[in-house]
Amino acid sequence: MVAGLCLAAALALGMAIGFPSVAAQDVDRMAGVRAQDKVLRGDAKCTRCHDEDEKYPVLAIGRTAHGTLADSRTPTCTACHGESGDHADAPEKHPYPDRWFGRDSSQSSDERSEPCLGCHQGGSRMHWAGGNHANRDVACTSCHRIHASHDRVRDRLTQSEVCFTCHKAQRIQVNRPYRHPIREGKIACSDCHNPHGSAGPAMMVRDGINDTCYACHMEKRGPFVRNHQPVQENCAICHDPHGTTAPGMLRSRTPFLCQECHEPSTHQGSIGSLAATGGRDKNTLARGCLNCHTQVHGSNSPLDERNERLFQR
Ligand code: HEC
Ligand code: HEC
Ligand code: HEC
Ligand code: HEC
Ligand code: HEC
Ligand code: HEC
Ligand code: HEC
Ligand code: HEC
Ligand code: HEC
Ligand code: HEC
């Protein structure tokens, strides 16, 4: 009944735009029988030729969210690939449908993303337009697999592999000794980044870098009696969240990290000097500056207010 209605509607459309006959399109010319839809509403127009037997099997789409026939908003083949009447009538003369997505597609990323945005605008994609991905020719289908029942990019264990096809530097970083547990699938790139674009820097899921870190590292938010300026400003000044060779995911080891901003001569008198420690420099031994300044993220010691114990307790 439903299929009949669709066919009638398609027939009317076909005649209006001058195709010979839609009925002919949906009939397998060799077998002479009317083709049945296989997985999506109205897919017979395409699936009479394209099915699991060819080099690119297409029917697994029936096992994805797009194949939920009970959901009337789900697409049919032509919602993404275009009406493609010429192609369906004479594929030997028109080897491609109106829109195609494979690696060899010559269509722009905007053209390829257009049908997706028609149904998936807003939500987490509010900042897609103008985002660094959309601007750099990345299409929805550069990440999402549509015809596969497993969409690698939405699986936390396999997601990073999709990103690494373009982001090689991060692949190297997440394999360093000090890193977030991304390889184990406990943390995903998308815990920190919204790959669809965002209002924050570096496509952060929150409006700022620190806000993104606080989501899991709440204790670093404070408030503290005494704040350390760079911590308030941006966690990534000292940490590289993708991975580093220095413990604590620091960009470099102490004392070097600290001395990027603090002159070694900071300490008046002899604290930390070679002379005072009998030839061994406390600043470079063991935890370096952290031997004494244990609370680098901010401290709640009332003494800090009077500059007596800076970030030491
Ligand atoms: C009459 C048979 C027939 C019908 C109907 C048909 N196609 Fe095709 N299609 C082909 C052939 C043949 C090719 C070329 C295959 C090749 O080069 O390997 C092709 C190629 C394609 C390609 C490009 C494949 C590639 O390698 O990049 C896509 C995408 C496609 N068809 C989608 C569709 C869609 C969507 C529909 C329905 C609107 C449809 N086809 C209807 C026969 C058909
Ligand atoms: C939601 C959008 C969408 C729908 C619906 C859809 N496709 Fe596709 N199709 C794609 C994308 C994207 C690709 C590229 C490969 C992938 O993502 O799996 C593709 C690839 C193909 C290919 C292989 C050509 C290539 O470029 O590698 C064929 C053939 C094809 N689709 C036919 C169909 C048929 C037949 C239907 C209906 C049963 C259909 N498609 C429904 C988006 C869609
Ligand atoms: C005709 C409307 C329509 C089109 C076109 C369409 N989608 Fe969808 N899509 C849906 C519906 C409906 C669902 C299932 C309900 C939902 O999750 O919103 C869905 C589900 C999805 C999901 C899974 C969401 C989940 O939570 O499981 C992804 C990913 C997706 N679409 C991406 C795409 C991409 C990429 C394209 C373009 C190649 C596209 N869609 C084209 C309507 C559409
Ligand atoms: C750079 C890779 C990438 C690109 C490009 C991309 N996505 Fe996604 N998408 C993802 C990831 C990763 C998730 C899972 C996010 C999560 O679990 O928080 C996702 C989730 C989704 C979902 C399901 C959850 C939701 O937000 O509703 C839909 C629908 C979706 N994407 C549609 C799209 C559309 C439409 C486009 C193009 C405008 C697109 N995506 C472009 C990586 C991408
Ligand atoms: C098809 C290639 C491609 C894929 C796949 C891809 N990206 Fe990108 N991404 C780019 C390009 C191109 C840029 C812009 C240039 C640059 O910064 O390298 C970019 C930029 C970024 C940026 C920097 C944004 C900014 O504003 O500075 C982040 C973060 C990012 N991508 C995250 C991801 C994540 C996470 C994934 C996987 C879910 C992913 N990308 C998948 C191509 C890709
Ligand atoms: C714990 C949070 C976090 C996770 C997880 C994370 N990132 Fe990032 N990423 C950041 C922050 C913060 C920045 C910006 C500061 C910086 O450049 O280090 C950034 C920057 C980037 C950039 C831009 C780099 C540049 O030089 O402009 C890319 C690309 C990127 N991330 C990709 C990824 C990919 C791919 C993954 C997953 C393998 C990932 N990120 C996981 C926090 C994260
Ligand atoms: C989705 C949750 C999540 C987010 C968001 C997050 N982290 Fe983490 N972070 C973790 C987990 C889980 C660990 C590992 C804890 C463990 O191994 O015991 C960790 C560990 C760390 C460590 C300690 C590494 C070590 O070797 O001791 C640092 C530093 C760190 N994160 C910094 C950041 C920064 C900076 C950001 C923001 C750019 C951030 N994290 C965002 C979950 C998160
Ligand atoms: C001035 C440099 C600096 C900045 C900025 C900084 N950190 Fe740290 N962070 C450190 C140092 C040094 C350690 C190692 C401390 C240790 O080993 O006791 C560390 C350790 C950590 C650890 C692991 C040990 C612990 O204390 O839990 C986490 C998590 C962490 N930082 C998160 C953050 C977050 C989140 C931010 C931003 C709000 C941030 N850091 C900003 C220097 C910094
Ligand atoms: C990106 C630059 C930067 C880095 C890296 C940095 N700091 Fe700071 N630090 C500052 C600034 C700015 C202040 C505030 C100075 C002021 O108020 O006069 C400060 C203040 C301090 C103070 C308190 C001084 C005072 O007079 O209030 C101590 C102690 C301190 N830092 C220790 C460290 C240690 C230990 C490290 C390494 C783990 C470190 N800093 C890394 C920029 C940095
Ligand atoms: C042996 C313990 C100890 C070590 C190691 C140490 N500090 Fe301190 N630091 C102190 C004490 C105590 C004070 C407060 C008294 C003072 O100003 O001399 C202080 C004060 C400071 C101040 C603010 C006072 C000023 O003079 O501006 C900075 C900045 C600072 N330390 C940075 C560092 C850095 C960077 C390192 C590593 C290179 C380091 N400290 C190693 C004990 C230490």
- Over residues 106-142, the pLDDT tens digits come to 999 999 999 999 999 999 999 999 899 999 999 999 9
Question: What is the pLDDT at residue 283?
Answer: 57
Which residues are CB-neighbours of 41 under 8 A, at least 6 positions away? 2, 3, 6, 69, 74, 76
Cβ atoms 197, 125 nearer than 8 A: yes
Ligand with the closest atom to the CA of 212: 7
Res 297: pLDDT: 96
Cα 78 → chain centroid? 27
Ligand 2 pocket by C-beta < 6 Å: which residues? 39-40, 43, 46-47, 50, 56, 58, 61, 66, 75, 77, 79-81, 100-102, 141, 145-148
Query: From the CA of 188, which ligand is nearest?
Result: 6
Q: Based on the number of CB atoms within 10 Å of its own CB, is 82 exposed (0-12), middle (13-18) or buried (19 or more)?
A: middle
Per-residue pLDDT tens over the stretch 170-213: 999 999 999 999 999 999 999 999 999 999 999 999 999 999 99
Cis ω for the linkage preceding 255 (within 30 of 0): yes
- Residue 304 confidence (pLDDT): 77
Ligand 8 center to 40 CA (angstroms): 52
Long-range contacts of 96-102 (CB under 8 A, 24+ apart): 97/46, 101/139, 101/141, 101/146, 102/56
The per-residue pLDDT for 17 is 37
The pLDDT of residue 285 is 60
> Which residue pairs, CB below 8 angstroms and at least 24 apart, start in 277-286?
283/255, 284/255
Cβ–ligand 5 contact at 165 (below 6 Å): yes
Q: What is the dihedral of CA 66, 71, 76, 80, to 10 degrees?
A: -60
Q: Is the CB of 310 under 6 A from ligand 10?
A: yes
Residues of the chain predicted below pLDDT 70: 1-34, 265-286
In angstroms, rounded to a whole number, what is the distance separating the alpha carbons of residues 126 and 207?
13
The pLDDT assigned to 286 comes to 60
What integer pLDDT is reported at residue 20 of this predicted model? 35
Q: How far is the CA of 267 from the centre of ligand 10 (A)?
A: 5
Q: Is the CB of 195 under 6 A from ligand 4?
A: yes
